[in-house]
Amino acid sequence: MTSIVPAEAVPAHVRERTAHGSSGPPRTLPAPLAPRARLLPSLAAVYRAQLSRARVARMPLLFVATFQSVGIMILMRGVVDGGSEARAVVAGSSVLVVAFVALNLLAQYFGQLRAGGGLDHYATLPVPPAAVVLGAAGAYASFTVPGTLFTAVTGSMLFQLPMTHLWVLVAVIPLAGAALAGLGAAFGLLAPRQELATLLGQLGMSAALLLGVLPADRMPEPVGWARDLLPSTYGVEALARTFDARPDWAVVALDLAVCAVVGVLSLAVATWAYRRAAVR
């Protein structure tokens, strides 16, 4: 048999084993597979690709998410004068932009990817599953930055709240975004049908709207328990506390820590769901 691989391209030990087998005719040994790509370079590549794709395809939806949050604040301005209720409305509307993109759109994206066979394409690449999930989640979460900043600044001006500590959004956006993006990816990967993934994402976004924007002290106690189970609640609370004249930074840090823990757990679940969906 004539090989199409040049002899110089074959490693020395393979040539030796091929030419001088122990017995019988020479046989061709299978070539070793390329080493699996490392996590961080793979994560950076997937993040850049997803960010470029989202910039083109998701810009109109980001405008809708921002317009929706600003519209809610304008409506609430007619019934809320100020105080803790105003802080809850502005903080909830700002984090709602993150929930709309990271939770709702990411659930739809992974649901479509799974239904359309796109997941098989990723599964053939030598990329760790965690890089695919984290890259997509990071791109969608970071894509919410302009809309969240615009909503927070507009709400602060509308309700005459101080903007001194809005820098805390540097921590609120990635941590709340990670927690919600992990849930959105898990919805899309675990739902048996694409339509169910879309439904779960929209239900999650609606929960973030109703339980995050409305003041907590106006809710019945069972609804308050459901609010405590929603990871975006802790991002809303952290941002709302910074509108105080003297924020309790220890409690703010605790709220952000809860977002971080939920983010790690939800992204781990999404990574497991990706492996499960890719091997089926």
Q: In Å, how far from its chain's centre is CA 218?
A: 30
Average pLDDT, the chain: 81
The DSSP-derived string for 88-155 is HHHHHHHHHHHIIIIIIIHHHHHHHHHHTTHHHHHHHSS--HHHHHHHHHHHHHHTTHHHHHHHHHHH
For position 76, what pLDDT does the model report? 86
> What is the per-residue pLDDT across 100-152, written as a single tens digit (0 to 9) for each?
888 888 888 888 888 887 777 777 777 788 888 888 888 877 778 888 999 99
What's the whole-number mean pLDDT along residues 84-108? 88
Torsion-angle region of residue 24: left (phi > 0), alpha (psi -120 to 50) or beta? left
Rounded to the nearest 5 degrees, what angle is found at the Cα of 191, between the Cα atoms of 144 and 267?
Answer: 45
- DSSP state for residue 60 in the 8-state scheme: H
pLDDT per residue as tens digits for the range 169-226: 999 998 988 888 888 889 988 888 888 988 998 888 888 888 888 877 777 888 888 8
Assess whether pLDDT exceeds 50 at residue 73: yes
